[in-house]
Each structure stands twice: as structure tokens, then as C-alpha cells.
Amino acid sequence: MATVKLSDDLIDDAKATATAMHRSIPKQIEHWARLGKIAEENPDLPIGFVKDVLISLQEVELGDVTEYRFG
């Protein structure tokens, strides 16, 4: 694992958001990095859509899915 120097401002921003979202500061920064990477790779997708996809993927991984029935 590499050590990365981050600005105090980023860490302070992450601390507030991490607390609100019940994440550790490193996990909050990882979350932002993941969202940023996906957003750069898919500039036409709204960030809300990206967040919903990540939540859906986690639900599938946890087995929290039900079959959708049309009509």
C-alpha cells in the first residue's frame, strides 16, 4: 500500500462528510475517488445515476435482490 500526502483542507472536508455518512475519513476519500473516476470515464452520466448504480451493485453483492415482474 502506498502512502499519499493529502491537503489538510481535503481531510477536513472528508471528516465532516465521513461523520455524516458514517464512514471513516480514508473510506470517504476512497468513495470520492471512485465517484470521480467513474464520472471522468462516463461524463454523460449524472452523478446521481452513478451513485444509484453503485448502491445497486452492492445490493446484488449482498443478495438483497428480488425479481422484477412487469405488469
Query: What value does the mean pLDDT take over residues 2-31?
Result: 95
pLDDT at 22: 96
**Domain locations in the chain?**
8-61
Q: What's the average model confidence in pLDDT over 29-56? A: 94
Q: How confident is the model at residue 2 (pLDDT cuts 50, 70, 90)?
A: confident
CA distances from 32 to 25, 26, 35, 67 (A): 11, 10, 5, 31
Determine the Cα angle at 13 with ends 9 and 15, to 5°.
Answer: 115
**27 has a pLDDT exceeding 80:** yes
Report whether pLDDT(1) > 90.
no
